[in-house]
Amino acid sequence: MSGVKEALEALLDFKGKKVKDFCLRRLERGERAYDILQELNRGLEEIGRGYENKEFRRYFDSDLIVSGANMKRAVELLRPHLSGGERREKRGKILLGTVKGDVHDIGKTVFSILLQSSGFEVVDLGVNVDKEAFVRGVREHEPQLVGMSALLTSTAPYMEEVMDELVKEGMREKVRVIVGGRAVTEEFARKIGADAYARDAVEGVKKCLELVGG
């Protein structure tokens, strides 16, 4: 069975057993946890495309829900293999959140795990985070970095409102901002005045290290 086909079968199994087997089999073969997630991610891409296709709709809301839940199971199962142990050397603190109107959190969770394994302290505000909560978070936790995630084209523009709020509250100079998630592009990040953009979690960690001078 081809990789994507197998990933699709695992993601669409509503009992969640196949996704567990999918991960364990690959771990036993010595595959890296992040590569396993990337393989499942290609399955999610396929489901997303089939969901979007208006002429021949192959996947529906229920498929998004089941595949999302299974991807979360995979992230949890692979978490110990992603983290690579605690580092003593602290790199800095980052405040993370998925912006208002958006409840997608799987990618943000993967990013958060990789950040922690690279020595960052992560304060995760969760999903559907409004600008006031981002500002409160900066005031309370005094992070060096703020990370925003958006998967919907309708919610990405809210990132600009958060940027404006940070300026309004006199906090923009205190933090560096990184944005990501499928609805965000490099060009968009530049337009809203973010300090960095990353396409995926691995690149995101690299950019965060650069931003804190590591």
Residues binding ligand B12 (CB under 6 A): 41, 44-45, 47-48, 51-52, 61, 64-65, 67-68, 71, 101-108, 110-111, 147-149, 151-154, 178-183, 198, 200-201, 204
Take residue 54 and report the two structure tokens written for it: 């208006």
Residue number with CB closer to ligand B12 (153 or 185): 153
Nearest-angstrom CA–CA distance, 163 and 176: 11
Question: At residue 48, what is the residue type?
Answer: G
Residue number with CB closer to ligand B12 (88 or 181): 181
Nearest-angstrom CA–CA distance, 204 and 200: 6
CB of 149 closer than 8 Å to CB of 104: yes
Q: Which residue is nearest to ligand B12 (CB)?
A: 107
Least distance in angstroms from the C-beta of 180 to ligand B12: 2
Least distance in angstroms from the C-beta of 184 to ligand B12: 8
Residue number with CB closer to ligand B12 (73 or 174): 73
Torsion of CA 27, 35, 59, 65, to 10 degrees: 70
Question: At residue 173, what is the residue type?
Answer: E
Least distance in angstroms from the C-beta of 82 to ligand B12: 11
CB of 127 closer than 8 Å to CB of 98: yes
Residue number with CB closer to ligand B12 (104 or 135): 104
